[in-house]
Amino acid sequence: MNDMRQMTALGRSIEDGSFRIIDEEAGSHEHGPAEWQVTRRVIHATADFDFKTLMRFHPEAVRAGIAALRAGCPVLVDVKMITAGLSAERLGSYGCQVHCFISDDDVIAQAKATNSTRAIEAMRKAHRLGVLEGAIVAVGNAPTALLETVRLVEEDGARPALVVGVPVGFVSAAESKEALLGLVRLPSIVARGRKGGSSIAVAILHALLLLSTKAEA
């Protein structure tokens, strides 16, 4: 796959300039080279240098994410906003398909019937359909989706390749991320605390896609 950025020369110079500014202002950090490429893309998407210290990477996270993408893994997201931000062309070049079940009629009906949440039931549906196996799971909005993913791994034997846990919010957001970090055997990328969001999940996935392209060179 060729360089996926699909930019004009001016657009690329602006992005490269932004990354130079981020590198200069961020100063020293504890991230490895690949992890820093992910982190600085998050900072680029948010203009928030707090993510320099909030980002946490399982030792195998970047490698697992690149390998999964290059194998054409499913990409499971909690909300359609992430789907809208992702490049279908970039993912399609590897054969990756994005799945989001949160607005499915059966998911909504089950959530209402059991006083659950749509996010929980969407993850359960994904597991029933086998979508979680070898998938990259990206949660940017719903802490309950991340907590359910953790439960499915712990109790039901789900085996995603990588979980990106960056839900934003005040109720269970920070706690859901800590629960994910507690699964030490599961590759994960996490933004600790309350900060997060769909745009951050998108930034992380795009960073992994760019790293996967470089891995082919």
Question: In this structure, what token pair is assigned to residue 82?
Answer: 């992430």
Please list the ranges in the chain whose pLDDT falls under 50: 1-4, 217
Catalytic machinery residues: 44
pLDDT digits (tens, 9 = 90+) for 7-58: 678 777 888 888 899 999 988 999 999 999 999 999 999 999 999 999 999 9
> What pLDDT score does 5 carry?
53
Torsion of CA 27, 33, 35, 63, to 10 degrees: 180
> What pLDDT score does 216 carry?
61
Strands (DSSP E) along the chain, which ranges? Answer: 55-57, 75-77, 98-99, 136-139, 162-165, 188-191
CB neighbour list of residue 32: distance below 8 Å, 6 or more residues apart:
none
Q: State the CATH number of the domain containing residue 61.
A: 3.40.50.10230
Beta-bridge partner residues of 75: 98, 136
Query: Does the residue 3 lie in any domain?
Result: no
Q: What total number of domains does the chain contain?
A: 1
Sheet holding 55-57, edge to edge: 55-57, 188-191, 162-165, 136-139, 75-77, 98-99
Domain range spanning residue 193? 9-216
Task: Please give the DSSP secondary-structure letter assigned to residue 133.
Answer: T
Query: Does the residue 22 lie in any domain?
Result: yes
